[in-house]
């Protein structure tokens, strides 16, 4: 059933969705890619401690994310307030994060700032994804897929900008590897987005029935949640270890910004292609095309020699294209399962958000302490054993996990419904 239209903002609806997504992605990248290195190098906190902190925050999310989803559905008319609150939390939190200095109590101070940032980030992400059917001009698979392409395009543009920002800022003379300047820039971006994207939250919300385990199971959403969790683990591990792999395993210091740009740019450029393929072949078949490509990339990374910039650039290109399919296809499948079952989407996407972040936390909790036990130290002269551990954690383990995700994806039905 078509959603109510708003003539004054309809033409800019999807670009504003992209802008809000860009803000959230720009916030997420420092938390998931830059944070481990920032905390270990700038704040002098051990990698094992960083992993424990991230896992502790995920335990908070275990309760918080589904609760956020429930609150968004319970007070659906206040979505503009929630959208502004998420932006303001990021606007305050990022300058506070990157202005931290090492010293007494740094672990506690870092933890408190991260709780604020992850809470604001969760609020914005659950709101954005939980309102997929509302933000689409019509609640159909084709239109939600089109809106998702804009949303994920904005996400990936934000990722590209922030992935290279610290390197560029440092080259321009910013102190502390560019991180303080990055924090202030992200704060300004969040404030600007809160103003420019506020009109998208005026669209009417159509609430469904209360979420329950039976509804998740019968709609197929529970199976998609499990797939999302397993499928998030390879990307979570490689994201957590990316800077270490590039600079310490491949000895490509100074190239991480370019490689991140290549990875996320290829993902962003592939989104329209995957959306088109999905409309023609169906979501399941599209995933089964993209997922093996990621496996090939993971396998290839394990055999690269130090200094092989061209080889790793090809791997970043291939794995980025594969990521584009994951980002646009799985949320659309989940949204349509909820729409067809008439289930409340924000509550469901609260669980979806937790599943994704649980993957990131498990990655940090498992691989960072293992690296520390092997004797690995970022930026130092590492032993062959430490580098072999890094190589296996970055390349081999994600490959095995991706194969498990492929096996689960093969059990999905071929049509565009999930039952």
The secondary structure of 207-273 as a DSSP string is --BPP-HHHHHHHTHHHHHHHHHHHHHHHHHHHHHHHHIIIIIS--TT-HHHHHHHHHHHHHHHHHH
Across residues 308-327, what is the average pLDDT? 91
pLDDT tens-digit readout, 276-294: 888 888 888 888 999 999 9
Across residues 304-329, what is the average pLDDT? 91
> Does residue 176 sit within a domain?
yes
> Does residue 129 sit within a domain?
yes
CATH code, domain with 197: 1.20.1250.20
Per-state percent for the chain, helix, strand, coil, to nearest 5: 80, 0, 20
Give how many domains the chain has, as a whole number: 1
- pLDDT reading at 250 higher than 80: yes
> Does residue 5 sit within a domain?
no
Residue 196 class from Cβ within 10 Å (0-12 exposed, 13-18 middle, 19+ buried)?
middle
- pLDDT reading at 397 higher than 60: yes
Phi, psi of 343 (to 5 degrees): -100, 150
DSSP secondary structure code for residue 40 in this structure: I
> Does residue 342 sit within a domain?
yes
Note whether 65 and 128 are within 8 A (CB): no
DSSP string, 142-191: HHHHHHHHHHHHHHHHHHHHHHHHHHHHHHTT-SGGGHHHHHHHHHHHHH
User: Contacts from 281-286 at CB under 8 Å and sequence distance 24+?
Assistant: 282/414, 282/415, 282/416, 283/329, 283/332, 283/333, 283/412, 283/416, 284/409, 284/412, 284/413, 284/414, 285/414, 286/325, 286/329
Token representation of residue 357: 């972040």
Residue 127 class from Cβ within 10 Å (0-12 exposed, 13-18 middle, 19+ buried)?
buried
Token representation of residue 161: 């900008």
- pLDDT reading at 419 higher than 60: no
In this prediction, residue 40 has a pLDDT band, given cuts at 50, 70 and 90, of confident
Classify 202 as helix, strand or coil: helix
Note whether 160 and 264 are within 8 A (CB): yes
- CA distance linking residue 159 with residue 23, whole number of Å: 9
> Does residue 6 sit within a domain?
no
Token representation of residue 250: 């491949």
Enclosing domain of residue 41: 12-409
pLDDT tens-digit readout, 133-170: 778 777 777 787 788 888 888 887 887 787 778 778 87
What are the CA-CA distances from residue 259 to residues 155, 160, 201, 312 (Å)? 18, 10, 35, 8
More confident residue, 413 or 378: 378
> Does residue 415 sit within a domain?
no
- CA distance linking residue 122 with residue 352, whole number of Å: 11
Paired strand residues for 138: 2
The sign one gets for the Cα dihedral 151, 404, 351, 160 is negative
Note whether 26 and 83 are within 8 A (CB): no
The answer for residues whose C-beta is within 8 angstroms of residue 397's C-beta and 6 or more apart is 234, 237, 367
> Does residue 3 sit within a domain?
no
> Does residue 388 sit within a domain?
yes
Q: What angle do CA 71, 77, 78 make, to 5 degrees?
A: 65
pTM confidence score: 0.72
């Amino acid at each position: 059933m078509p959603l109510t239209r708003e003539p004054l903002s309809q033409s800019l609806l999807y670009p504003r969705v992209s802008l809000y997504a860009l803000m959230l992605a720009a916030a997420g990248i420092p938390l998931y890619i830059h944070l481990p290195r920032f905390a270990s190098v700038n704040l002098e906190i051990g990698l094992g401690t960083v992993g424990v902190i991230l896992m502790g925050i995920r335990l908070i999310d275990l309760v918080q994310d589904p609760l956020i989803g429930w609150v968004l559905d319970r007070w659906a008319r206040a979505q503009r307030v929630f959208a502004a609150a998420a932006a303001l939390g990021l606007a305050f939190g990022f300058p506070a994060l990157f202005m931290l200095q090492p010293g007494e109590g740094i672990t506690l101070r870092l933890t408190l700032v991260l709780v604020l940032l992850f809470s604001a980030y969760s609020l914005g992400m659950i709101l954005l994804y939980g309102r997929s059917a509302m933000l689409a001009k019509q609640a159909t698979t084709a239109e939600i897929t089109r809106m998702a392409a804009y949303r994920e395009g904005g996400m990936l543009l934000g990722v590209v900008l922030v992935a290279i920002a610290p390197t560029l800022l440092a080259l321009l003379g910013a102190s502390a590897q560019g991180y303080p300047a990055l924090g202030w820039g992200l704060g300004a971006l969040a404030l600007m987005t809160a103003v420019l994207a506020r009109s998208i939250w005026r669209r009417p919300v159509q609430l469904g029935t209360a979420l329950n385990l039976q509804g998740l199971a019968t709609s197929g959403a529970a199976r998609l949640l499990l797939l999302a969790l397993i499928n998030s683990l390879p990307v979570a591990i490689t994201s957590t270890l990316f800077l270490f792999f590039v600079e310490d395993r491949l000895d490509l210091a100074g190239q991480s910004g370019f490689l991140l740009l290549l990875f996320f740019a290829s993902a962003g450029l592939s989104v329209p292609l995957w959306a088109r393929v999905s409309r023609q072949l169906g979501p399941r078949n599209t995933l089964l095309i993209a997922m093996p490509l990621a496996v090939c990339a993971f396998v290839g990374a394990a055999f690269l020699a130090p200094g092989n910039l061209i080889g790793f650039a090809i791997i970043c290109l291939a794995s980025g294209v594969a990521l584009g399919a994951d980002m646009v296809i799985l949320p659309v499948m989940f949204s349509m399962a909820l729409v067809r079952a008439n289930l409340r989407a924000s509550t469901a996407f609260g669980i979806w958000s937790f599943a994704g972040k649980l993957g990131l936390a498990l990655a940090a909790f498992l691989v960072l302490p293992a690296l520390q036990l092997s004797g690995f130290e970022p930026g130092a002269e590492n032993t062959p054993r430490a580098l072999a551990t890094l190589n296996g954690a970055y390349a081999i383990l994600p490959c095995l996990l991706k194969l498990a995700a492929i096996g689960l994806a093969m059990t999905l039905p071929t049509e565009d419904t999930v039952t």
